[in-house]
């Protein structure tokens, strides 16, 4: 129908999992594939563009991505990874969408020069302490770990800001901590094992460094909501909030969601012209107006909803929003 082409991954008899993982053991995670491949299935939502601007050059605030499960936090985090890890491919992707959407501002978003990016899906519980991520994966991490552990009786419970600054001056980096709240809420916090307190204090150190030394550290953290203890320490430094439930007017959020879904499912849906779609829909929409006695004043808006939702009905996508996505918040 109108040459609409479903993406290959949805053509088989058995649907592979489409949940986003930053990395996995088979090296097919969202941050392990080439930027071009990942960005091919990515639509530039308002939330994503806000995030890209927030991790750009001369920005001096941590970024917190807020949203319940199923709303696309991990996909956005992976896109930010590629934004900084491969700015050349990201610029080409932004320029392409700038032309498709007729919005020159998208292609003009400044990008940070390539820097080391470390991303971790914390819910996989591969690290007990945040600093172990740095010690394990930063090129200067082993040295700083040895320096900290060699302090003897003077060794603090968590690495100091000066140690972390020394590490970052060796190699600046962007640190993405996905599902931080899930990980944080599961930490032990007893007198003998005050791990939650340590994490609370260490994320404050990272947040303050990201604010005061944006040339050394770009910090991006995802949480389910902005009222948790996991969020409070970051909140103290006035982070940029990318909130999936507060990304503009309800109509803009809904339009973004529709386009994101259609672009994810189909290779070419957004390249099919409105006139062609209206032609396919004409009989159905006219009958819809007749049967439901839609007032003339509402018909343009309803027509727009049908056009933007095709090949699905707008009420089907609304059902998906209300009954599937929103259930993750209950």
Distance CA 41, CA 317 (A): 19
**Percent helix, strand and coil across the chain, each rounded to 5?**
55, 10, 35
Report the pLDDT value the prediction gives residue 15, as an integer from 0 to 100.
59
Q: For helices 130-137 and 195-212, what crossing angle results, to 10°? A: 60
Q: Would you say 69 and 61 are in contact if contact means Cβ atoms under 8 Å apart?
A: no
pLDDT of 208 higher than 90: yes
CA angle 57, 60, 63 (to 5 degrees): 95
Most confident among 11-15, 19-23, 311-315 (mean pLDDT): 311-315
Report the pLDDT value the prediction gives residue 270, as an integer from 0 to 100.
87
What are the CA-CA distances from residue 108 to residues 51, 53, 78, 98 (Å)? 15, 10, 21, 9
In the chain, what are the domains? Answer: 20-243 (3.40.50.300), 272-329 (no CATH)
| pLDDT, greater one: 226 or 224 | 224
Instruction: Enter the pTM of the model.
Output: 0.86
Buried-exposed string 262-287: b where 16+ CB fall within 10 A, e elsewhere: bbbbbeebeebeeeebeebbeeebee
| pLDDT, greater one: 241 or 166 | 166
Whole-number average pLDDT of the chain: 88
Q: Would you say 61 and 237 are in contact if contact means Cβ atoms under 8 Å apart?
A: yes
**Residue 325 corresponds to which tokens in the numbers above?**
């996505």
Report the pLDDT value the prediction gives residue 19, as an integer from 0 to 100.
67
Q: Which helix (H) or strand (E) holds 258?
A: helix 250-265
Report the pLDDT value the prediction gives residue 116, as an integer from 0 to 100.
96
CA 149 to chain centre: 35
Distance CA 237, CA 62 (A): 8
Confidence bin at 246 (pLDDT 50/70/90): low
Report the pLDDT value the prediction gives residue 327, as an integer from 0 to 100.
43
Confidence bin at 284 (pLDDT 50/70/90): very high
**Other beta carbons less than 10 A from residue 251's beta carbon:** 11
Instruction: Give the single-character DSSP code of 175.
Output: E
Instruction: Give the single-character DSSP code of 6.
Output: B
């Amino acid at each position: 129908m109108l040459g609409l082409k479903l993406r290959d991954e949805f053509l088989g008899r058995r649907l592979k999992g489409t949940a986003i993982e930053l990395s996995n053991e088979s090296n097919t995670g969202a941050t392990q594939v080439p930027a071009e491949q990942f960005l091919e299935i990515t639509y530039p939502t308002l939330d994503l563009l806000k995030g890209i601007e927030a991790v750009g050059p001369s920005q001096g605030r941590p970024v917190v991505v807020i949203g319940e499960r199923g709303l696309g936090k991990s996909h956005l985090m992976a896109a930010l990874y590629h934004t900084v890890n491969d700015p050349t491919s990201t610029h080409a992707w932004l320029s392409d969408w700038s032309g498709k959407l007729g919005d020159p501002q998208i292609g003009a978003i400044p990008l940070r020069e390539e820097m080391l990016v470390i991303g971790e899906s914390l819910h996989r519980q591969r690290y007990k302490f945040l600093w172990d991520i740095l010690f394990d994966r930063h090129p200067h991490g082993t040295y700083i770990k040895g320096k900290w552990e060699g302090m003897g009786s003077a060794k603090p419970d968590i690495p100091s800001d000066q140690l972390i600054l020394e590490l970052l001056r060796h190699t600046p980096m962007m640190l993405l901590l996905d599902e931080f709240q899930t990980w944080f809420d599961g930490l032990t916090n007893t007198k003998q094992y005050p791990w939650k307190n340590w994490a609370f204090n260490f994320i404050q150190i990272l947040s303050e460094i990201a604010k005061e030394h944006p040339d050394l550290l770009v910090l991006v953290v995802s949480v389910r909501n902005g009222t948790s203890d996991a969020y409070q320490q970051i909140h103290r430094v006035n982070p940029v909030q990318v909130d999936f439930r507060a990304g503009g007017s309800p109509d803009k959020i809904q339009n973004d969601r529709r386009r994101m879904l259609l672009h994810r499912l189909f290779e070419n849906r957004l390249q099919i012209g409105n006139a062609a779609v209206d032609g396919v829909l004409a009989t159905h929409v006219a009958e819809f107006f007749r049967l439901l006695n839609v007032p003339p004043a509402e018909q343009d808006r309803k027509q727009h909803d049908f056009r933007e939702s095709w090949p699905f009905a707008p009420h089907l996508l609304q059902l998906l929003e209300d009954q599937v996505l929103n259930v993750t918040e209950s």
